Amino acid sequence: MGLCFTCHWTRVVTSRRGSTFFRCGRAEVDARFVRYPQLPKLACDGYEERSDT
């Protein structure tokens, strides 16, 4: 998962079947980002460290 693992913008989505997906929340407010980025993300201009990590 790389940078997304500790990023403030990471959203975790769980499907009805119980599968877990990762989504980039930044994609909803900024067109430069894709909703489902290819992982692991090793560099990202939108990265912001989560304050709880």
Residues engaged in binding ligand SF4 (CB under 6 A): 3-4, 7, 9-10, 24, 26, 33, 37, 41, 44, 46-47
> Residue 47's closest CA among 23, 26, 21?
26
Cβ atoms of residues 43 and 33 within 8 Å? no
The residue among 17 and 45 lying less far from ligand SF4, judged by its C-beta, is 45
The residue among 16 and 38 lying less far from ligand SF4, judged by its C-beta, is 38
For residue 43, the minimal CB distance to ligand SF4 (Å) is 9
Cβ atoms of residues 6 and 50 within 8 Å? yes
